[in-house]
Amino acid sequence: MKSQHKALALISGGLDSLLAAKVIQRQGIHVEGINFFTGFCVEGHTHAIRKKDGAKPKRNNALWVAEQLGIRLHIVDIVDEYKDVVFNPQYGYGANLNPCLDCKIFMLKKAHAWIDAHGFDFVITGEVVGQRPKSQRKDTMPIVQQDSGIGDRLLRPLSARNLPPTLPEREGWVDREALHGFSGRSRKPQMQLAAEFGFEDYAQPAGGCCFLTDPNYSVKLKDLWASRGERRYELDDIMLLKVGRHFRPAPHFKVIVAREEGEARFLSGYRKQYPNLSMKSHGGPFALLDGTVGEDDIELAARIIGRYSQGRDADTVELEFATPQGETRRLCVSPFASDDIPADWLL
């Protein structure tokens, strides 16, 4: 009896990886998914945190894709290993701090090792030729195959007919004619295919699969490194960069001000790690202070928070300052007028 071939699909949670896996699944291949957790994933994190985004689905899109396909999903934490990709990308960054080419190489190297260890035959991705400026160009796609070591055991079902035949096609494990020849940035072919498969309610692509493609996020990450004098981060750091307004009034400290209730609740989860300020006299945001703060810094932070509180027009507002050790005290300050906050404090 002919044994069933097995493919591992890189699942980001977006439409392309969903479709790529479905195309191969439809050819009778056993498909399982793998999702790499870098900490930078967009994956609805901000929707999950922000109260105002309450109508948007709070779901893990990679799991949702697995559920749609009826496949097993392996979620692999690569937070620590991935740091080297972010710090030292051999092929440099894209428009922001996104090391897309190195990232793809790294993930495919991991996927390659995984299929070898688990007796799978090949790897599939939802990549489309010409869709992304750097990592999905016809001339860079072979670099990914070569540097990751996966070679022609990588099949891109949505673009396969624009690319040289891979091992699964040559061996007849999959029918090349039933694969696709999508190219370019248009999403129409994917949306049409999604409709054919009956997929609805899939995640809308938001410019990239991770926050490293976001210009504002990249500014905040660069600032974090500059403040530390080295390129270093922990998972909590990169999660916090996704939340709140970040002000850096001086090199030695930063103020993270919640923009709304959901963010305030999320940030208050860090009150045992960071000194913090909360409004007492008026409705207003919760804020964390990151750095070693003196009396003047606390007052200045309180004035910023006052500006974003319901007491912004009052002469003074009252706040509570708390340390991670639980010591608290009250302070009264006059809120900054919005023009008084230098624009370059806001990251």
Residues 25, 96, 135, 166: which binds ligand SF4 (CB under 6 A)?
Answer: 135
149-208: contacts with ligand SF4 (CB under 6 A): 208
- Figure out which of the listed residues 7, 49, 103, 243 binds ligand SF4, where binding follows CB under 6 A: 103
User: Least distance to ligand SF4 from the beta carbon of 12, Å?
Assistant: 7
Asked whether position 209 contacts ligand SF4 by CB under 6 A, the answer is: yes
Under the binding rule (CB under 6 A), the answer on residue 39 touching ligand SF4 is: no
Instruction: Print the SS3 string covering the chain.
Output: CCCCCEEEEECCCEHHHHHHHHHHHCCCCEEEEEEEECCCECCCHHHHHCHHHCCCCCCCHHHHHHHHHCCCEEEEECHHHHHHHHHCCCCCCCCCCCCHHHHHHHHHHHHHHHHHHHCCCEEECCCCECCCCCCCCCCCHHHHHHHHCCHHHEECCCCHHHCCCCHHHHCCCCCHHHCCCCECCCCHHHHHHHHHHCCCCCECCCCCCEHHHCHHHHHHHHHHHHHHCCCCCCHHHHHHCCCCEEEEEECCEEEEECCCHHHHHHHHCCCCCCCEEEECCCCCCEEEEEECCCHHHHHHHHHHHHHCCCCCCCCCEEEEEECCCCCEEEEEECCCCHHHCCHHHEC
Verify binding: residue 104, ligand SF4, rule CB under 6 A. Answer: yes
- Residue 89 CB, shortest distance to ligand SF4, in Å, is 9
Distance CA 34, CA 178 (A): 24
Stretch near ligand SF4 under the rule CB under 6 A, chosen from 20-28, 110-118, 122-130, 209-217: 209-217
Closer to ligand SF4 at the Cβ: 15 or 100? 100
Output phi, psi for 288, to 5 deg: -105, 145
Rg (CA), the chain: 24
Which of residues 103 and 141 has its CB atom nearest to ligand SF4 in the complex?
103
When the beta carbons of 13 and 244 are compared against ligand SF4, the nearer one is: 13
Task: Mark 50-89 with x for binding to ligand SF4 (rule: CB under 6 A) and - for no binding.
Answer: ----------------------------------------
Torsions phi, psi of 341, nearest 5?
-90, 110
Q: Between residues 208 and 249, which has the closer beta carbon with respect to ligand SF4?
A: 208
Q: Could you tell me how many residues make up the chain? A: 347
Contact status: 96 vs ligand SF4 (CB under 6 A): no
Closer of 40 and 270 to ligand SF4 (Cβ): 40
Is-contact 61 201, C-beta < 8 A? no
Q: Which stretch binds ligand SF4 (CB under 6 A): 50-58, 210-218, 232-240, 322-330?
A: 210-218
Per CB under 6 A, does 105 bind ligand SF4?
Answer: no
Binding segment for ligand SF4 among 47-55, 95-103, 192-200, 289-297 (CB under 6 A)?
95-103
Check if the beta carbon of residue 8 is closer than 8 Å to that of residue 115. Answer: yes
Instruction: Determine if 100 is a binding residue for ligand SF4 (CB under 6 A).
Output: yes
Residue 212 contacts ligand SF4 per CB under 6 A: yes
Tell me the closest approach of the beta carbon of residue 213 to ligand SF4, in angstroms.
5
Q: Of the two residues 42 and 293, which places its CB atom closer to ligand SF4 in the complex?
A: 42
* Spatial contact of 3 and 106, defined as CB atoms under 8 Å apart: no
In the complex with ligand SF4, the residue whose CB is nearer, 82 or 122, is: 82
Q: Is residue 258 near ligand SF4 by the rule CB under 6 A?
A: no
Identity of the residue, 163 or 212, whose beta carbon is nearer to ligand SF4 in the bound complex: 212
**Is residue 148 a contact residue for ligand SF4 (CB under 6 A)?**
no
Which residues contact ligand SF4 by CB under 6 A? 98-100, 103-104, 135, 208-210, 212-213
